[in-house]
Chains A and B, each alone.
Chain A
Amino acid sequence: MQRLRSMALAVALVVSVAACAVKTYNATAHVDVAVYEALAAVQDAAETAHSRNLISDAQHRELAGQLVPILQAGQSVNRALQTWTPGTPKPATITAGLLEIRRLLAALQTTVPAGPIQSAISAALSVLGGVQ
């Protein structure tokens, strides 16, 4: 009987640890999707602003150039997530990538005029606010 109880406890422990690992993976996957949508919104806001002549061609070019490394960092995070097996430690590249996106976005925010692009960047930064 004692053995049965020990086994039940061990199973419960293993299930709890696995559940925590899956929960962490799911939460990170949600952040990944939210970050993509937020970055897409920033790029779309830049396109809209350019088409409405709210920013000049030169500003549009510069903004597009600044968006390239941000989008590349987002893609790296997404790819690292795809190769991450839940239950194994979270790849360091995911957190590092998210922090890099936040740093680049914060720098970009200071260079764009107030308006829809800046609002989209603020929204993206708030998505990344909880990343540590």
Chain B
Amino acid sequence: MNLPLNAIIGWLTILWEAYDNGTIPQIKEALLGAGIPPERLVEIDAAYTARIAKAQADAG
């Protein structure tokens, strides 16, 4: 529990600088991996529906 105050201030400074120069999204992507937009999942859902209908029609 003995976090040195200057280390906390150092991290906050790094974060502030990253926020200030716009690199937060890059850091976030590097740490978390790029996200998939929800619209893409909705598109995939519609595509599945169309493909299932085609497969059912082809199967007779």
Task: Please tell me the number of chain B residues within 8 Å of chain A, measured between CB atoms.
Answer: 29
Task: Report the bound CA distance from A6 to B8 in whole Å.
Answer: 11
Given A26-B36, A29-B36: A5 and B5 within 8 A (CB)?
A: yes
- Decide: A32 and B59 in contact? CB cutoff 8 A: no
Neighbour of A32 across the interface among B41, B55, B57, CB < 8 A: B41
Q: Given the complex, which residues of B lie within 8 Å of A40, measured CB to CB?
A: 47, 51
9 nearest A-B residue pairs (beta carbon): A64-B58, A65-B59, A75-B48, A29-B36, A64-B59, A26-B33, A5-B3, A67-B55, A64-B55
Residues of B in contact with A (beta carbons under 8 Å apart) = 1-3, 5, 8, 31-36, 38, 40-42, 44-45, 47-49, 51-52, 54-60
